[in-house]
Amino acid sequence: MKYLIEHYFEDFKVESIKVIGSGYDSVAYLVNGEYIFKTKFSANKKKGYEKEKAIYDFLNQRLNTNIKIPNVKYSYFSDDISILGYKEIKGTFLTPEIYFALSKEKQELLKQDIAMFLRQMHDLDYSEISLYTIDNKQNVLEEYQLLKDTTYDSLTDIEKQYVEDFMQRLHSTTIFDGKKCLCHNDFSCNHLLLDDENRLCGVIDFGDSGIIDEYCDFIYLLEDSEEEIGVSFGEDILRLYGNIDISKAKEYQDVVEQYYPIETIVYGIKNNRPDFIEKGRKEIYIRTRKDEKLRK
C-alpha cells in the first residue's frame, strides 16, 4: 500500500502506515498519523469509491453543518483498484457504553445532533447525483431470482419456506413507497464520531450511500444488539427528526433484519464464498427455532 500511494500520488511521502480496519473487499489504513487511505481491488461502479467520492464532494458543498464528513484529497480509480485518501476526522466512535454513561441531558443533545444531521442530509436536492439511486426492493427481487437460478433447489424445505415467507411479506408491504432521499445507508454507531463533549462531530464511511428509502438511515438506530444502542434510542431520534411514519420505519428495520440470512446466502453465491452460504443457511435455522419457541 505504501508503494501504491507513493506511485499514484507523487507528492505524498509515506512516513508511517498501519491497517485500522477491513471489510469484505476493502482495507483502511492510517497514514502518517493523519490521513485515512482506503483501497479495494475491484471497481464496482454502484458501490465503489467513485460513487463515494462524488457523494462526499456533493455533501461538502451542500451541507450546512459543523459535523464533518470525509473530504477527499487523493483518489485513483481503475478497472483493478480504487483508492481514496482524506484527512482523518478526529473523535471517539459512539458505543452503547459511552451513551449509557452520559447524563440524560447529554443523551438528549446527542440525539438532537443525530436527528438534525439526518434531516439536513435527507432534505437536500439530490438531482445532480440522481444516478446513484438504489432500489432496495428491485435489488431483492433480482437477488431472489439469482437464488432461484443457483442454490434454491439445494435448500431444505425449512429454508425454502423462510425465503418464500419473506418474499410474500416483501410483496405485501408498502414501506418501499415512501420518500426517497440521499442516505448514508449504513448509519451505525461505528460510523459516528463524538468530540470531547460527547457531541456528534463526524460521520464517516459513506460507501453504501445513495438515493434510497428514507427509512434506511434508521435501521441501525432502531437495532437492539451489542453494537447498537437500542430501539428506544432510534424512536427518540425519529421523533426529533419529525415528519416521518415511525411505525413504518420500524417495519422497514424488521424487514431488513428478516432478509439478512437470505442476503448472506446471496453474497456467498455472488462472490463464490461457500462459507457465507452456509452461514446464511444456519441463521435461517436459528431464527426458525427462535420463532417456534416464541409461538409456544
**Residue numbers annotated as active site:** 186
Judged on CB neighbours under 10 Å (0-12, 13-18, 19+), 216 is: buried
Name the grid cell of 125.
Answer: 436536492
Name the grid cell of 135.
Answer: 432500489
- CA diameter of the chain: 66
Is the Cβ–Cβ distance between 68 and 202 less than 8 Å?
Answer: yes
Task: Report the candidate in 6, 50, 1, 53 with the shortest Cα–Cα distance to residue 22.
Answer: 1
Instruction: Mark 236-265 as b/e (b = at least 16 C-beta within 10 Å).
Output: bbbebbeebbeebbbbbbebbebbebbbbb
Distances (CA, A) of 237 to 78, 94, 106, 272, 286: 40, 15, 14, 39, 31
Is the Cβ–Cβ distance between 122 and 178 less than 8 Å?
Answer: no
- DSSP per residue, 147-176: HHHTTGGGS-HHHHHHHHHHHHHHHH--GG
3-state helix/strand/coil string of 283-294 = HHHHHHHHHHHH
| Spatial distance between the Cα atoms of 118 and 173, rounded to a whole number of angstroms | 24
Residues in the chain: 296
